[in-house]
Amino acid sequence: MADKGPHQNYLGMWGWVWGGNYKLERYLYLLHRITGLGLLLFGLFHLTVTTIFRVQGEAIWSSTISFLDNPLFRVGEFLVVAAFSYHALNGLRLIIQELGFALGKPVPPIYPFTDAIRRKRAWTLVTLAAIMVLAVAFFIDFTVRGWG
């Protein structure tokens, strides 16, 4: 009797490095996960710092902020806001497409096959353009204020 169970994920995490036929969208998804993990790590660090040092009073808080005000942390801060811009806008695109919008009408499976997402790649490109605009705006803001 044929196995009716779900397909096993044979590649596991190694499947991340190969986009296959999905190409651009698959690599955007990979970057979505990498930025998500980075934001999780930063979030835990940020939460710990703001909780522990904030409740200890003005002197400790001010010395902590002075310590963090250096080029290394400023570059890190820029990477965080850039990662957030990417993760948020690409996530919005993923939600919209997962709910069935911006996918295009179904077409008969005639060779060469194109999937629904790639028929509406313009949406992906618009999302990428918006992310670039935000990243540049943040870069200008950081540059005007100084990098540490």
Partner 1 sequence: MKNTYLQISQMITGALVAVLLAIHITVQQWFVVLGLLGIKVADPTTWGSMMERAHQGSWVGIYIALLAFGLFHALNGFRNILLEINLSALAIRILTGFIIAFGVIFLILGTYAPIALFSSYR
Distance CA 60, CA 47 (A): 16
Using CB under 8 A, which residues numbered 103 to 132 contact partner 1?
Answer: none
Smallest CA-to-CA distance from 89 within 33, 32, 14 is with 32
Length of the chain: 148
Distance CA 55, CA 52 (A): 6
How many CA atoms are closer than 13 Å to the CA of 43, on its beta-carbon side?
8
Q: Residue 4 CB, nearest distance to partner 1 (Å)?
A: 18
* CB closer to partner 1 out of 45 and 107: 45
C-alpha dihedral (30, 33, 39, 43), degrees to nearest 10 = -170
- Rule CB under 8 A: is residue 20 a binding residue for partner 1? no
- Rule CB under 8 A: is residue 44 a binding residue for partner 1? yes
Q: Residue 111 CB, nearest distance to partner 1 (Å)?
A: 31
* Residue 74: Cβ within 10 Å count: 16
* Residue 43: Cβ within 10 Å count: 11
Count the site residues for partner 1 by CB under 8 A: 37
Q: Which of 1, 2, 17, 55 binds partner 1 (CB under 8 A)?
A: 55
Q: Residue 89 CB, nearest distance to partner 1 (Å)?
A: 8
- Rule CB under 8 A: is residue 77 a binding residue for partner 1? yes
Note the residues at the interface with partner 1 (CB under 8 A).
8-9, 12-13, 15, 33, 36-37, 39-40, 43-44, 47-48, 50-51, 54-55, 58, 61-62, 65, 77, 81, 84, 88, 91-92, 95, 98, 137-138, 140-142, 144-145
